[in-house]
Structure 1
Amino acid sequence: MLGRIGVALAIAFLKFLAIIPYGITARFGDGLGWLLYQIPSRRKRIVHTNLKLCFPEWSDEKREDIAQKHFRHAIRSYVERSVQWFGSAKKLEKLIQVDSAVDLTDPDLPPTLFLGLHFVGIEAGSIFLNYSLHRRCGSLYQPFSNPQIEELAKAQRARFGADMASRADSARIVLRWLRDRKPVMLGADMDYGMRNSTFVPFFGIPTCTLTAVGRLAKTGRAQVVPFIGEVLPDYKGYRLKIFEPWDNYPTGDDEADARRMNAFLEEQIPHMPEQYYWVHKRFKTRPPGEPGFY
């Protein structure tokens, strides 16, 4: 765990990276990711395990290529928190393109859950979605192990008018936000254990998947709008892609609604497989009696 001095130095370094040209920061993160990929590590093994499970038809050469590209993207995404957390609104406007099927400035926007999918650009996408809404919104977060970093992340993620709430304490808060017509941003495509989850296929593998999105949408009478933060090539920034609201959702069937999210991911990931968050143990929780993958 980082001590107070270590955290202070890390924050100072992030603030420095935020004021230098973005291309330099991005290239530094990319190079650091390449370097760290050369070192055997648990996260590197997780990436390879996930890719082998989801794409067994790929050759070893292709899997290695995507794994290395993803590792570079993942490390780069941590470095680029500097720009996302401390860069000015004007700088973010220059770096992030918005491609939205929803009018984000509509004063009559119905109760909406914006579902962030865990591609490496999710941090940039979430922060700029908050900025682009031009109104207060709610945002859920996964707590950090270091309390100083958690307070920093909450403050910087909230700087364009977001009310923050921990994912563990979220249900009643989210429903209150929806009643107040606040758009709510949340992520659900990770393994958070069996609580409020079910096993549904993801690339053909029974995968522990949250059911909260469908149930919150049903109770809060909200539409669900997925979004993806895409890292653009040649260090040109990001694209925030906001999709049409899901039709006929929720159905009231927890398994069918959870499967809808995984099926949507299965459609989107092949467009940029190196950018999905493979460093996460997506298949950590297994059905009873089934051996683990990691």
Structure 2
Amino acid sequence: MDNDFFTLLAQRKVYGTNIPSNKVISNWALSVIRFLYPDNMPVQRSQNQLREQASALQSELADIIAANCKEENMSCKEIADHFFNKLPDLYSILNTDIEAIFNGDPAAQSEFEVIRTYPGFYAICFYRIANILANSNVPLIPRILTEHAHSKTGIDIHPSAKIGAYFHIDHGTGIVIGETTVIGKNVKLYQGVTLGALSVRKNLAGNKRHPTVEDYVIIYSGATILGGDTVIGHNSVIGGNVWITESILPYSTAYHSPIIKVRNINETNEI
């Protein structure tokens, strides 16, 4: 190869030299989830044992974000302390998500089944962990976490989106929730839903580009809702495959009206 190429590589910018691998970061988040929701617990753990386990996860988080904290002039320990101070809130809101999924899906046999097998809950867990870190202005790590869940489930939730309690993702594959999306409580999304921006121009970074979905809204599969000024009013139902770029009042129903004709069997010989 040309020596100029290796000279160019030798001079390239190095990114995050001390940042652990994506696998290490995602495994830490999985450990937090398993700490809250153990796979099995043959022996009841004491409070001291639980505190020790939490402390180990807290120290691991401080190490994981150390490189980013140094670059951003942050205190890694303060961020890790803040995350684990928020752990009761995280556990509480995840329990509402489990309840919403279990009560909202007739196929769910138990809450444990939701925790262990539902990709929607997996993606929600990683989003909620990443959201706490994003709100602490930790760079990169939150996106690594939500993109891990994206790669596993096909559900793409930006860590800076704001999502309320009792959030239910059903099936989930192909869902996109953009950075400035705001979702209220008791919202249910089906597969293929996009809550996106009308424009992806770079100069719009930092602006409200994604829609607001108020409380008690159901959005069926394939619906696309775009724009930072677009508000889906509470208690509305959005039908499958609709395209929405304007606000909808509360208690609305939006849907396509297909033309259906039932053929007479004598009208055609084709099957």
**Structure with larger RCO (C-alpha < 8 A, sep 6+):** 1
Structure with a larger share of its residues in helix: 1
Shared fold per TM-score greater than 0.5? no
Higher Cα Rg: structure 1 or 2?
2
Please give the TM-score of this superposition, normalised by the length of structure 2. Answer: 0.32
Structure with a larger share of its residues in strand: 1
